[in-house]
Structure formats: structure tokens, C-alpha cells
Chains A and B, each alone.
Chain A
Amino acid sequence: MGDLKLPAIDYGALAPMLILFGVACAGVLAEVLVPRRSRNAVQLALAFLGIAAAFIAVIVFVQNGSRGVTIGGAVAVDGPTLFLQGALLVLGAVSLMLIGERSLERGGTFVSQAAITVGSQKDVKQAGDQPGLTEVYPLTMFALGGMLLFVSANDLLTMFVALEVFSLPLYLLCALARRRRLLSQEAALKYFLLGSYASAFFLFGVALIYGFSGGISLAQVHEAVVNPQNSQVLLYAGLALLAIGLLFKAALAPFHVWTPDVYQGAPTPITALMAACTKVAAFGALLRILYVAFDGVRWDFQPVLGTVAVLTMLVGAVLAVTQTDMKRLLAYSSIANAGYLLVGVLALNPEGLSSTMFYLVAYGFSVLAAFGIVTLVRDADGEATHLSRWAGLGRKSPLFAATFTFILLAFAGIPLTSGFTSKFAVFGAAVEGGQTWLVIFGVITSMLIAFPYLRVVVMLWLSEPGESTPTVSIPGFMTSAALAIGVLATLALGVVPAPLIDLTRDAAQFVR
């Protein structure tokens, strides 16, 4: 007692997160110090620089080759951590391009002051021409930093802290839409309330697992799971509660109900950020918890989570068929994709790990491109997301429609797109891991969900344009760049997936 020993800290391993949090704090300062006119440019540049620096830090750490745990086992730096952190940073940078777009409408996608009463004179004025909030950049940086920590957290408390760090900014960001603000605020509130429940469940689970294993680090939990000293009830109840927290973030049924509302209400660039990055973070943590800590009871959770996967795929696919709003359709599609991802996770073998990571990256790029396109279809009231409004857009803007068709084909899993290779990878891993039944359901739901995608393609190309068909805005530089990156990645990962597959295979090794 008494002599507190400071744990060794490997700053190189923590550098990406430290950089992002540092940049986020600097962004908060910049809100105060930089004059309003140049604030957007400064914040944007700061954010990009931060992401670039963090990415370089990740690369440097990959090069130096050391793997292991640091700061007293709170953070694990291993292949999956580094890969997912790199993926989060790249996807985050692309999301940032969408977030930073200011040329599609005056002032950008975000409200100028979140506190203005909806529908008041001031609100009309702000929606008209006032520049959007720039706090979104530091918030995004905080969220990204939290996600980076989330995928590397090696004990349950760190994981909980990271969960809160990335969730809180996201709740806020959801509420900041410039138009349809009530919808946006409702989405944020819904996300916040349900998210808090999920966090509470997670925390409760941590407590039970602590009671079971006498420790919170994943290695200790693993020990205890292999050689149980305490009641198994604690273990199963704790694991179930932990899983609920993670399933919520990953939007897996039956904890998916927030997804369509939040995806629809949130400003579209934030939806893109959530669909791409939150998914990576949530599945990163889920992989780590299941593969590292609870590997010993795989036979017990595999059927339960398998049922969750089947339910998720079915819910996503079936409800996608009935949607009439593009953002809700993409939300259900993202739910279904979460199901496919869980199929990969449940393979519980190295292929499962690598294929899930591959899927996360591939899907992230496609979904970013999809939401990027949603931001472009506009009329006088902002984005026109109702499906019927998209009829005949192929006639007016063939390039745009071709791009979106390509992305939809990728979601449908047509070969030569990343959607096919990634689905193939997770299904292959699952068959390998003896989970053929999941693959059967995966295939069946793939058939179901092809229908809504196809319906959109029909709308775009084969329907006659209506009188109220919105226009496709000319994307600004940043949206164009985001779209180009998303589409090219979708194509490249479909045609020449070998480099990324090899990368994920090399990275598929957890440390304890």
C-alpha cells in the first residue's frame, strides 16, 4: 500500500488519440479566438491536419512493429487496433469532407445556432443565409478520438469511457440539422435516451463481469472465463448486458429501432459518419470483447448472437422493402449489413476477424458515397429524400444516377463491387467456422434486400421524371472528392481486393 506505481505509457501507441483529442481541444479554443468569418476554414484545416497527423502516427507505429498493451493494460495495440484505427481515420476524413461541404447550400448543412427556437423569425433567417455552426469540427474530432480509443480499449472501464466519449458528441451532432430541425432534435433526443440506456446496460454488465472475474481487464476476464471461480450466472448476465450495449451501437436487432429515426433526422453528413465510423468502432469493440475476453464461452453465446444476426438481417431486409424515404431505406440497409457483419464476427476464427474488418472498410466507403449522393438531391426545402421524388433522375443527371446505381449494386452484392467481395469474405469465414445456417439466412436476406435496391434503380432510370423532380446539385469540391473516393474504393475493393484482404489477414491477431 502507499507506493503508487505509475504504469508505463507508450506514447507512440497513444499518439493518434492524443492528437485527435488535442486537435479537438484546439478547435474549442479556435471557436473563441478565431474571428467568425474565417472560423470555418481554420476549423476545417485543423480537423484535416489532425486526422492526417493521427493517421501518420498510426502508420509510424505500424512500421515500428511493437505490439502489446500499455498504460497498465488499459489500451491494447495490436493488428486489429491499428487496422481499425487507420480505417476509422480514413473513413473519418471522408466523412469530414461531407461535413465540411459549404457550397451545396448557403451556410452548409448545419444550423447556425442550435438554441434558436424552431419556426421562429430567427430560425427562418438562420436557415436562409447564416453560416452554420463550426463546433461540429471539434465535436467530430472528439467522436473520432473516442472511436479510436474504443477499438483499442483493453479493459472494460476504458471501453465504457471511450463509448461515452464518442457517443456524446454524436448525440449533439445529430441535433444540428439546418432544416427540418424538429426531426433532427427528435432524432438526437431519441438517440441520446436510448443510447444512455445502452450505456447503462453496458456499465451494469461491467460491474457483473467485475464481480465474476475480479478484474476489468480483458485478460483477467479471459482467465476467469477459462477457469471460473465464481457463479456462471454473473458471467452470462454480465456478458448479456455488455452485449446489449454493443449491439445497440452496432444497430443490431432487437436494439436497432433507433437507427431509422436517427439516420433520417440527423444531418446527412453526420448520418454518413455514424453509418461508416460508428459501425467500425462498435464492431471493433465487439470483436475484441468476443474474441479476447469471452472466447472460452463461445459455444454459449454463438447461438444467441447467431439468432441476433438472423433477426437483424431479416428485419433490415424485410423492412427495407417497405421504406419510402431514401435515408430510412439506407438505414435499414445498414441494419441488414450489421447482420452480415455479425455473421463474420461469429465465425470466431482468424478469417472471421479479417473478413469482418474487410467488410467494415468496404461498407464504410460505399455508405459514405451513398449518403454523399443523398446530400446532392435537393429542392428549395433542402434535401429531397422521399423515394418518389427520385423518379427519372437518370434522365436529368445520368452521371449521378450511374454513380448511385453502382453503389446500390454494391449493397446488393453484385460482383466487381466491394459489396460482393466483402459478403463473400464473411460468408466464407462463417462456413469455415461451422456457421453454415447463418450463411443460408444471409443469402436469403440478400435476395430480399436486393428488391428495394432494385426498386430505386428502376425509379432512377426507368420511371418518367415527375413535375416535382428535384435537381441534383453540382457537388462542391469536397463532396466530389468524398464521392470519388467512396466510389473508387467500392470499385477497387471489388476488382482488386487482394491488397486489403492481405492487410486484414496480417492484422488479424489480437493481443491479450
Chain B
Amino acid sequence: MNDFPFLSILTLLPLVGAVVVAFIPRARAELAKLVALGWSLVVLVLSVVMWIAFQTGGDRFQFRESYAWIPSWDARFTFAADGIALVMLMLIAVLFPIVILASWRDVEQSKRSVPTYFALLLAFEFTMIGVFAAADIFLFYVFFEIMLIPMYFIIGSFGGPRRQYAAVKFFLYSLVGGLFMLAAVIGLWVVGGHTFDFAKLTESAAAIDQDTARWLFLGFFVAFAIKAPFFPFHTWLPDAGGAAPAGAAALLVGVMDKVGTFGILRYCLPLFPEASRWFAPAALVLAVIGIIYAALLAVGQNDLKRLVSYTSIAHFGFIGIGIFAFTTQGGTGSVLYMVNHGLATGLLFIVVGMFVARRGSNLVSDFGGAGKMVPVLAGVLFFAGLASLALPGTAPFISEFLVLIGTFTVHKTYAVIATAGIILAAAYVLWMIQRTTQGTLNPVLPTVPAMRRDITLREKIVVAPLILLIVLFGFYPKPLTDVINPAVQATMQDVGVQDPAPVVANERVAR
């Protein structure tokens, strides 16, 4: 079963779908939606089959495929997935149909073409799957850059009032990062023996001169830090997240930003182990600042979508400290966090989108007591908020806990400061919920006809799988950790760090 070319088919399938949907005439909007949904479900089914075919105890990289592309540069269409990529691919496959269904009515409000929107979503899925499935740095870079294009048009054409500004800012920030990475990719190609193959490069990586490696690391890291985004490269995200349609925003923070943290884990750490260790203190500081700073900004936000974007930046700080703690627990926690954050924040964005669509405004102050009008929807928002603040029993709790203990074993100070982020998370989520759904009813709300309609069947179908998964992984994360753990251990081995956890444990036992 492992000979089946899962990854290339999985990558190309949405592209074909995008082309098909793009050619559906504007008048047949419903058909376009159905085709897009069906197509993303086929991708989901294929991903599930791939998940089953993945051998948990097997090789680190599985489903490897490689086809010639540009022989003189040794750039190849090489696909391979380790456990980290596998869970991310699965997350993508799950989120896309949900987002497509959640965006069912979004586009009608603008005057733009419906098939175009769904074609762009599928094109975006193509680039997302490609970027996680690539095992050739050239190919990875190609996907890393072209994923901007569908998202740029989604934000720019279908977004909110400040969409032009947000789209351009988003594109330029990412492009700047991408070009830093381009310089690093070229440098790596030259010093790494004229190949782009990830496997070969990890072997020759040790021979790279120390200073060169640090510069190259920096090139990659800046690109990923902008993408993630880490403080201080984060300012594009609130604009983009605030302006994007809710579904697209869910994908933006749920999937696309993970490319940054995934890139650090997959490329920065194994390729430049010494440089990673050298830069780790700086990265940790940035991550911790990000946790606190973004959480404080989130507390002060009056725009729901911007608020969720800021919470997301804070969460990426957690992922960052987990990665740069260089412990298996921290790393596993981070990867798990990437998945759970995709589910929880994706859900939060989608639910916020439902509120915004009803009220016609993003502003927290335009709500107030909405729970009295749409009790079920308010309940879902409450659940999404709790998941987002990592309440025990929801999936994000496990990952946040793992990250914190993984970090605590090596960097107590950072772990302690980061824990303060949890308190702030409770503050921004609960205040947001209080000001929108609880308290006295905003007298304007009953005059908005759409606010009288509670959650619809379609919306129930949208949120149900996410809620289920969040609860399931909150109690039983083993299916995920079994896949993630070996990959993270292998990555930590590449970095050349011993897991300190057992040592610390022994000391404690000794005491």
C-alpha cells in the first residue's frame, strides 16, 4: 500500500479541482460550491486512507516519491511525509471541507464571482498540501511562495473593508520573508553540494562552516518567523485575519501559519543544528514576548477577528518555546499544538464569522447579550473560546501542558513567564465572551433580523466535527502523539540535543 503515490496525488487533486471549479460559469454558483465541497471531501478520504497506510513504527519519512524536474540543479519533485507532516496534512484535509461549507453563503454578500472564490480555496489547498508534502527544498520554496497568490486574491477580492491594505501587507510581508529564504536556499544549495534533496542535505549539513550555517539559518528563520508569525514580525496577521473572510481567516491561522513553525522544525533544526542551538535563546525570548504581548493586545481588541488573530499570535509563542526548548516533550507538544490550534482557532474563527455574518459588524461593542437571541451559537462560541484558552478536557490543554513541562525541564524562567500567558488567555477569551454573548442585551440586536436565527443545520454540520475532534483529542491524543513522537525524536537527534527529561527525573528521584 505504501507504493501508492499518495502525496503527489493528494497535492495535485485540489489543483485539478480548482481548475474545474474555475471553469464553472458564474451563474451556476450552487454547482461550484457542491463540486468544491465534493472535491475537498475526496481529498479528505484519500488523506484518511493515507493516515491508515502510515506505519507508526516505520521509517521516519514515508510515501517517498521522487521525479526528475531540473536535473542540472538537482531539483526534483520529491514528496515524503514524516509524522509531523502527516498530522498537518490531515489537519488540512479536515479543515478545508469544513471551511468550504462554512463559507457557503459568504460570497453572495459581495458582488464577486462565487466559483472564483471556491476555486481559489481549492488552489490554496493545493499549495498547502504541497508545502507540507515536499521533501525537496526547491519544491518547498516554490509552494512556500505560490501559496501567497490564492490567499492574496481571497483577502483582496472577498475580504472586509480594509481588504486591499491587508492583502498587500500580507503579500509583501510574506514575500520579504520568502526572499530572505531564497537567498538562504541558494546559499545552502551552493555549500550543501548542489542538491535540494532534504535527505542528502541533512547528511552534508554537518560539514557547513559555522558562520555560513548561522547566516543560512537566519535566512530560513526570518521567513518562517514572518509566516508563523512570531513577535516582532506579526503585524500583518491582525490586518490579514481581520480583513479576510472568516473561513479564509480560519485557514490563514489554522493552516498557513503552521508552515512557519513546521518549516522551523523540518528545515531550520535538522539542517543547521549548531546554529539552531546558538539562536535558541533569542528565539525563546521572542516567543515569550509574543505570548505576553499578543495576549495583552488581544485583551484590548474591540474587533472580533483581530482579537482572534492576536490570540493566535500568542499561541504561536507557545509553539515557539516548545520547539526551541529542544526536548521531545516540548517538540511533541508544539506539533500537537499546531494541530489543536488549527482545530480550536479554526472553530473560533468560523463561529466568530457566523456572528459577524449575522450582525454585519466585527466589533465586540456591537454585540452584547447575544446569547439571549442565539443561545446555541453562543454556546458554541463559548466552547470554542474555552478550547482556545486550553481548558482541561479540550485538546489544546494537552499540547499547552506538554509544551510547558517540556520547556520547564530546561528553561524554568521562560516556562514560568509563559504560564502567565494562560491567565491572560483566560482574560481575553472570557471578556470577549462576556461582552458579546452575556450581560444585558444590546438594544440594537433585536432590530437585526439575521440575529434572530440561531444556528442552522449547515452551521451545525460545520462545527460538529471540530467540536468532536477537540473533545476526542482532549481525552485521547494517543493517535496523534504516536505519529508525532518518533518524528520529533528524530528531529531532536538531528539537532544533537540529549533529552534532559530523564536526567532531571533521576535527580528528583535521587533527592
A-side interface residues toward B, CB under 8 Å? 409, 412-416, 420-421, 423-424, 427-428, 431-432, 436, 439-440, 443-444, 446-447, 450-451, 454-455, 458, 461-463, 496-498, 501-502, 505
The answer to whether B70 and A498 have CB atoms under 8 Å apart is: yes
13 contacting pairs across A/B (C-beta < 8 A): A409-B149, A414-B149, A415-B143, A416-B142, A421-B70, A427-B183, A428-B189, A436-B187, A450-B171, A462-B156, A498-B70, A498-B72, A505-B72
How distant is B193 from chain A, measured CB to nearest CB, in Å? 12
Q: 8 Å CB contacts to A: which residues of B132-186?
A: 141-143, 145-146, 148-149, 153, 156-157, 163-164, 167-168, 171-172, 175-176, 179-180, 182-183, 186
The answer to whether B145 and A415 have CB atoms under 8 Å apart is: yes
The answer to whether A462 and B164 have CB atoms under 8 Å apart is: yes
Q: What separation, in Å, do the CA atoms of A292 and B171 have in the docked complex?
A: 43
Which residues of B have CB within 8 Å of A440? 183
Q: Does B23 contact A (CB under 8 A)?
A: no
Interface size of B by Cβ–Cβ distance < 8 Å?
32
The answer to whether A424 and B186 have CB atoms under 8 Å apart is: yes
Q: What separation, in Å, do the CA atoms of A414 and B142 have in the docked complex?
A: 8
Q: Does B190 contact A (CB under 8 A)?
A: yes
Which residues of B have CB within 8 Å of A436? 187
**Which of A431, A444, A501 is the one whose CB lies under 8 Å from B70?**
A501
Q: Does B278 contact A (CB under 8 A)?
A: no
The answer to whether A461 and B142 have CB atoms under 8 Å apart is: no
Q: Does B71 contact A (CB under 8 A)?
A: yes
How distant is A295 from chain B, measured CB to nearest CB, in Å? 22
The answer to whether B157 and A462 have CB atoms under 8 Å apart is: yes
The answer to whether A502 and B72 have CB atoms under 8 Å apart is: yes
The answer to whether B145 and A414 have CB atoms under 8 Å apart is: yes
Q: Contacts A414-B149, A415-B146, A498-B71 given: A458-B182 contact, CB under 8 Å?
A: no
Q: Does B4 contact A (CB under 8 A)?
A: no
**Which of B142, B172, B176, B190 is the one whose CB lies under 8 Å from A415?**
B142
Cross-chain pair count, CB within 8 angstroms: 82
How distant is B211 from chain A, measured CB to nearest CB, in Å? 12
Q: Contacts A498-B69, A498-B71, A501-B72 given: A427-B175 contact, CB under 8 Å?
A: no
Which residues of B have CB within 8 Å of A415? 141-143, 145-146
Which residues of B have CB within 8 Å of A443? 179-180, 182-183
The answer to whether B171 and A454 have CB atoms under 8 Å apart is: yes
Q: Does B475 contact A (CB under 8 A)?
A: no
The answer to whether A412 and B175 have CB atoms under 8 Å apart is: yes
How distant is A354 from chain B, measured CB to nearest CB, in Å? 9
Q: Contacts A462-B163, A462-B164 given: A447-B175 contact, CB under 8 Å?
A: yes
Q: 8 Å CB contacts to A: which residues of B27-74?
A: 68-73
Residue of A nearest to B68 (CB): A498
Q: Contacts A415-B146, A458-B167, A462-B167 given: A450-B172 contact, CB under 8 Å?
A: yes
Which residues of A have CB within 8 Å of B172? 447, 450-451, 454
Which residues of B have CB within 8 Å of A455? 168
Ranked 6 nearest A-B pairs via Cβ: A415-B142, A443-B183, A431-B190, A498-B70, A443-B179, A415-B145
The answer to whether B164 and A439 have CB atoms under 8 Å apart is: no
Q: What separation, in Å, do the CA atoms of A501 and B70 have in the docked complex?
A: 8
How distant is A121 from chain B, measured CB to nearest CB, in Å? 47
Q: What separation, in Å, do the CA atoms of A443 and B189 have in the docked complex?
A: 16
Which residues of B have CB within 8 Å of A454? 168, 171-172
The answer to whether B70 and A458 have CB atoms under 8 Å apart is: no
Q: What separation, in Å, do the CA atoms of A412 and B145 have in the docked complex?
A: 11
The answer to whether B179 and A446 have CB atoms under 8 Å apart is: yes
How distant is B139 from chain A, measured CB to nearest CB, in Å? 9
How distant is A195 from chain B, measured CB to nearest CB, in Å? 35
Q: Contacts A414-B146, A416-B146 given: A427-B186 contact, CB under 8 Å?
A: yes
Which residues of B have CB within 8 Å of A446? 179, 182
The answer to whether A447 and B186 have CB atoms under 8 Å apart is: no
